[in-house]
Amino acid sequence: MFIRLFKMALGATLCFSFSTSLAQKAPHTGDPKLTEYWDPAVRIITPGKTNADAPSDAIVLFDGKDASKWESEKDGGPVKWKIEDGALVVAGGTGGIKTKQGFGDCQLHIEWRTPAVVKGESQGRGNSGIFLMSRYELQVLDNYNNRTYSNGQAGSIYKQTPPLVNASRGPGEWQTYDILFSAPVFQEDGTVRTPAKITVFHNGVIVQHNTTIWGSTQYIGTPNYEKHSSKEPIMLQDHGNPVAYRNIWIRPM
């Protein structure tokens, strides 16, 4: 039986190889216009002068002066964080902040800085987080010569997937995340049809490559999905450390 199956598989492989070879040698004839289409035309936008600058179709969430697109996570009121030197700085104990607008699939650019004066170690050093859809955390942490658990360091999907590499800059230096996020899709009964996926560049280096997110971030226990709407706010975490954010823009997709 095994020999028979082997011969069948070998025959199929040879047939496929022969057919592929013929296809490669066969001339492509006919009208090339049959494989072209002109409409709809590709939408024109104006890119930023640098990769960090917002393109013309982006929504600027923070421009260094105006935090009006954000609200308090706790009570929905105005943000209680400080605006200093063009940066939005965590005011420890006031709670996280979230966008007033909800987002699903998106391209997000955000720059962040941990304190120049180093205090603490591991998770106690320059800790914050970016929560896509208020649920799925991309960790922000000072991991320059600061060892912590791998799936909890900067660039990790917190308590899920560690970054491919540690691309951290030193304390007090500005760092960049460029994020591509695909929101989860749910069935009517609440089960997951398509899980969330994320790609992240940290300081220009890819650290998450089309990574599947296993569910909402959990500090204790395993992540899990609960059905939610297709657009939810982005949340920035208050973990007690004066982490700063600037130049935040997003392109819904």
Q: Which residues contact 152 (CB under 8 A, 6 or more apart)?
A: 123, 139, 141, 158, 159
pLDDT tens digit sequence for 189-222: 999 999 999 999 999 999 999 999 999 999 999 9
In this prediction, residues 107-114 reach a mean pLDDT of: 98
Buried b (16+ CB within 10 A) or exposed e, 218-229: eeeeebebeebe
pLDDT at 84 over 60: yes
Q: What is the pLDDT of residue 28?
A: 79
pTM of the model: 0.87
Buried b (16+ CB within 10 A) or exposed e, 80-93: ebebeeebbbbeee
pLDDT at 23 over 80: no
In this prediction, residues 139-160 reach a mean pLDDT of: 97
**Which residues does residue 106 pair with via DSSP β-bridges, in sequence order?**
181, 252
The domain made up of 59-252 is a member of CATH 2.60.120.560: yes
pLDDT at 13 over 70: no
